[in-house]
């Protein structure tokens, strides 16, 4: 997302993170303590699939990934699922800005095969108030119509607040769209992209899109003013999303998340742990996930990012490795070089 | 009510659809059965007024807007989210002209005049192309000023007779500063790290609508050209509505606006009903462009 530069420097989150560790979570109470204990116990599995083209049977590829990751029909049957693609804005010739509609279709098919009772697609684009234009011009509107799937504009939904239990950003509460309270699973359907403020935007950063524009504005400037990286961690810790699928069939390199160039990376990356999925994506892109501020903090409180704590299923990283170009004149990317 | 002029046949179904989101207390939701929304209420009121329909419903809607006004004059999304005060400008326009709500209108105008975003001096090494020091209006308290809320505030204040006010003049300056080099506006960034960002039809339309009568035509000529070129491709009520409103107020020919509006309305049969604000904006644009004027 392209807005103002984030309000806090990358060093402030590290300082706060250290303070958290030193304090053992006592200063912010049970929530962070609990998360730290959970994260310490957790190992994660991530599935990598080769997918050279959007015309492949993506539903079957995603179904295989769900199976490999132990997502069973028993677990999904009867559940209401929200698929949250990354839809930012539309620009002719820049389809690689957004999650491809055929990846959304593939996820729809896969969760339907597992017996989901209802699947919704929802997004609150950060750059445009005309959400309908985005879903129409990306081609998603037709996919949803043909598959009788309801779209929820999360920017204009009813609202409910949750306390900011991790408290890394300066917000005391986080306000979510009511739809998130009505679903059993939230699936982040992200895009594999570099980002000029955060370094990368993957399944965790994609959840900025659930934060309603009616309370966070267009762009979601509140989240930047209160700390970009901190907000990513806070939102993920509060929301506890259930699954991630990253569309890396065509990714974006360079000056992402809007102005970068397309890159054919030919992968779909999936998992239950969003930090582990994002760390794996980084390794595929040739980026050290430990250098991404929000991933480093997420490793301690949400899910693992270290290679030894992630069991890779499907293709090995080496077989899909595609080095993404980074810009040395963009500070958030220069530190990744 | 029976004596009031009726909209032309093509819009006959649209106005009752708008009323389906009306609530018992006179306010409107974005969708039938949804929560009260001041923005939906303001746009529905302005839409009914533009067609001179159901004045008693407009009065009730104004009453609901007024009931949500905060002591500082702002009319936020709700009392639970006072920082989300962006509906105030639309509400001020809806309250304008009604003697019964003149005081509420004045308080809303006072709020707009007293409110701005976070601004900072321009820095040589900033990655941003725009001048962040020029005061405009934000969506949300304690954040930067952006294009759409600034355009809305300018228009509300201009209608209230404050076009010469320094805040309006600085708002105009801010919008012109945020205009993209090749024309058009997006949410409010021009270039970032040297790359020119993309224009968006809705932001371009609303910016032009607010600048009509306040900026010289040559200052916005590329934007007028851009939105006129884009107009025939627009299919969604928000972008089409704002594009028509912007062009109409600059007295630019909108071609067969009636066909575009009709097509846009008919798309609801396939993709589902539009939200109150979007539908109302489209119908207001129809009315103002002449395409929906019962007397045209």
pLDDT digits (tens, 9 = 90+) for A164-200: 999 999 999 999 999 999 999 999 999 999 999 999 9
B146, A218: Cβ pair inside 8 Å?
A: yes
Rounded distance, CA A46 to CA A26, Å?
Answer: 32
Half-sphere exposure of B195 (CA within 13 A, CB side): 17
Rounded distance, CA A163 to CA A76, Å?
Answer: 28
**In the prediction, which pLDDT does A203 show?**
98
Using DSSP bridges, classify how beta strands A173-177 and A44-50 pair: parallel, antiparallel or unpaired. unpaired
Is residue B10 predicted with pLDDT exceeding 80?
no
Residue A78, SS3 per DSSP = coil
B127, A89: Cβ pair inside 8 Å?
A: no
Nearest-by-Cβ selection for A145 from B81, B203, B271: B271
B238, A132: Cβ pair inside 8 Å?
A: yes
Residue A213, judged by CB atoms within 10 A of its CB (0-12, 13-18, 19+), counts as buried
**Dihedral angle sign, alpha carbons of residues B26, B31, B34, B38:** negative
Rounded distance, CA B244 to CA B219, Å?
Answer: 19
**In the prediction, which pLDDT does B11 show?**
72
**Which chain A residue shows the shortest CA-CA distance from B274?**
A132
Chain A residues bordering chain B (beta-carbon distance below 8 Å): 2-5, 89, 91, 94, 127-130, 132-133, 136, 141, 145, 153, 156, 158-159, 161, 175, 196, 213-219, 221-222, 225, 255, 258-259, 327, 329-330
Which comes out higher in pLDDT, residue A87 or B292?
A87
Rounded to a whole number of angstroms, the CA Rg of chain B reads 19
Is residue B232 predicted with pLDDT exceeding 60?
yes
Structure tokens at A195: 């980002």
**In the prediction, which pLDDT does A6 show?**
59
Cβ contacts of B132 on chain A, cutoff 8 Å = 4
Cβ contacts of A196 on chain B, cutoff 8 Å = 127, 192-193
**B residues 11..70 contacting A (CB < 8 A):** 30, 34-35
Mean pLDDT across B26-55: 95
Is the CB of residue A239 less than 8 Å from the CB of residue A304? Answer: no
Using DSSP bridges, classify how beta strands A199-201 and A185-195 pair: parallel, antiparallel or unpaired. antiparallel
Cite the beta strand spans of A24-113 per DSSP E: 44-50, 80-85
The residue among A1, A45, A54 whose CA lies nearest residue A247 is A54
Rounded to two decimals, the ipTM of the complex is 0.94
Cite the beta strand spans of chain A per DSSP E: 44-50, 80-85, 118-123, 151-153, 159-163, 173-177, 185-195, 199-201, 243-253, 261-271, 310-314
User: Confidence class of residue B1 from pLDDT cuts 50, 70 and 90?
Assistant: very low
> What is the per-residue DSSP string for B217-268?
HHHHHHHHHHHHHHGGG--SHHHHHHHHHHHHHTT---SSHHHHHHHHHHTH
Nearest-by-Cβ selection for A133 from B86, B186, B239: B239
Determine the length of chain A: 337
> What is the per-residue DSSP string for A248-271?
EEEEEESSTTTS-EEEEEEEEEEE
Cβ contacts of B200 on chain A, cutoff 8 Å = 89, 127-128, 130
User: Confidence class of residue B8 from pLDDT cuts 50, 70 and 90?
Assistant: low
Q: CB-based contact (8 Å) between B278 and chain A?
A: yes
CA angle B51, B55, B61 (to 5 degrees): 105
Q: What is the mean pLDDT of chain B?
A: 93
Is the CB of residue A154 less than 8 Å from the CB of residue A210? Answer: yes
Rounded distance, CA B187 to CA A217, Å?
Answer: 10
B77, A255: Cβ pair inside 8 Å?
A: no
**In the prediction, which pLDDT does B293 show?**
46
Rounded distance, CA A101 to CA A106, Å?
Answer: 9
Cβ contacts of B192 on chain A, cutoff 8 Å = 2, 196, 259
Q: Which of A13-17, A154-158, B25-29, B245-249 has the lowest mean pLDDT?
A: A13-17
Rounded distance, CA B242 to CA B33, Å?
Answer: 26
Rounded distance, CA B137 to CA B153, Å?
Answer: 7
In 3-state terms, chain B is what percent helix, strand and coil (to 5)?
50, 5, 45
Cβ contacts of B86 on chain A, cutoff 8 Å = 217
Which positions of chain A have pLDDT values less than 50? 1-2, 7-14, 17, 19-28, 30
**In the prediction, which pLDDT does B289 show?**
82
Longest dimension (CA), chain B: 64
Rounded distance, CA A60 to CA A114, Å?
Answer: 12
Nearest-by-Cβ selection for B144 from A4, A161, A330: A4
Is the CB of residue A90 less than 8 Å from the CB of residue A138? Answer: yes
User: For residue A174, what is the DSSP state?
Assistant: E
Closest chain A C-alpha to B260 CA, distance in angstroms: 15
């Amino acid at each position: 997302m392209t807005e103002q530069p984030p309000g806090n420097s990358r060093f402030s989150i590290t300082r706060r993170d250290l303070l958290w560790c030193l304090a053992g979570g006592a200063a912010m109470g049970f929530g962070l303590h609990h998360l730290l204990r959970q994260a310490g116990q957790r190992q994660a599995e991530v599935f990598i699939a080769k997918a050279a083209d959007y015309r492949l049977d993506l539903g079957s590829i995603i179904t295989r990934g769900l199976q490999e990751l132990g997502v069973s029909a028993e677990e999904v049957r009867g559940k209401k699922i929200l698929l949250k693609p990354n839809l930012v804005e539309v620009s002719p010739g820049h389809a690689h800005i957004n999650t491809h509609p055929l990846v959304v279709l593939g996820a729809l098919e896969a969760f339907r095969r597992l017996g989901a009772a209802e699947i919704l697609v929802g997004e609150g684009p950060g750059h445009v108030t005309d959400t309908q234009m985005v879903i129409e011009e990306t081609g998603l509107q037709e996919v949803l119509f043909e598959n009788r799937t309801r779209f929820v504009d999360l920017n204009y939904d009813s609202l409910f607040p949750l306390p900011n239990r991790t408290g890394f950003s300066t917000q005391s509460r986080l306000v979510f769209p009511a739809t998130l309270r009505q679903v059993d699973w939230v699936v982040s359907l992200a895009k594999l992209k570099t980002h000029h403020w955060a370094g990368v935007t993957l399944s965790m950063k994609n959840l900025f899109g659930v934060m309603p524009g009616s309370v966070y504005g267009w762009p979601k400037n509140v989240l930047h003013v209160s700390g970009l990286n901190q907000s990513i961690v806070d939102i993920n810790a509060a929301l506890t999303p259930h699954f991630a699928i990253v569309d890396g069939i065509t990714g974006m390199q360079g000056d992402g998340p809007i102005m970068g160039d397309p890159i054919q990376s030919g992968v779909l990356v999936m998992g239950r742990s969003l930090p582990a999925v994002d760390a794996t994506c980084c390794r595929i892109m040739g980026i050290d996930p430990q250098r991404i501020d929000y991933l480093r903090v997420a490793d301690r409180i949400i899910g693992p990012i270290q290679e030894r704590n992630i069991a890779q299923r499907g293709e090995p990283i080496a077989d899909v490795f595609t080095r993404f170009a980074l810009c040395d004149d963009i500070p958030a990317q220069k530190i990744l070089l | 009510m029976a004596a009031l002029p009726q909209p032309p046949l093509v819009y006959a179904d649209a106005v009752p659809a708008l009323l389906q989101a009306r609530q018992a207390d006179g306010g409107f939701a974005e969708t039938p059965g949804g929560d009260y929304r001041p923005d939906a209420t303001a746009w529905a009121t302005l839409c009914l007024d533009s067609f001179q329909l159901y004045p008693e419903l407009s009065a009730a809607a104004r009453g609901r807007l007024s009931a949500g006004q905060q002591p500082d004059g702002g009319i936020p999304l709700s009392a639970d989210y006072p920082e989300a005060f962006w509906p105030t400008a639309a509400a001020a326009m809806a309250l304008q002209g009604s003697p019964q709500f003149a005081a509420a209108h004045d308080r809303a105008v006072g709020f707009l005049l007293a409110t701005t975003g976070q601004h900072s001096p321009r820095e040589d090494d900033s990655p941003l192309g725009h001048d962040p020091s020029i005061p405009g209006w934000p969506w949300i308290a304690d954040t930067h000023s952006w294009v759409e809320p600034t355009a809305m505030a300018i228009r509300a204040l201009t209608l209230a007779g404050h076009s010469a006010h320094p805040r309006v003049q600085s708002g105009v300056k801010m919008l012109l500063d945020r205009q993209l080099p090749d024309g058009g506006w997006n949410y409010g960034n021009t270039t970032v790290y040297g790359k020119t960002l993309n224009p968006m039809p809705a932001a371009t339309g609303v910016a032009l609508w607010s600048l009509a009568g306040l900026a010289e035509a040559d200052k916005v000529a590329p934007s007028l050209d851009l939105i006129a070129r884009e107009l025939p491709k627009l299919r969604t009520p928000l972008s089409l509505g704002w594009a028509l409103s912007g062009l109409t107020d600059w007295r630019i020919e909108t071609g067969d606006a009636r066909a575009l509006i009709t097509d846009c309305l008919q798309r609801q049969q396939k993709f589902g009903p539009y939200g109150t604000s979007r539908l109302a904006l489209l119908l207001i644009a129809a009315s103002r462009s002449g395409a929906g004027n019962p007397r045209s």
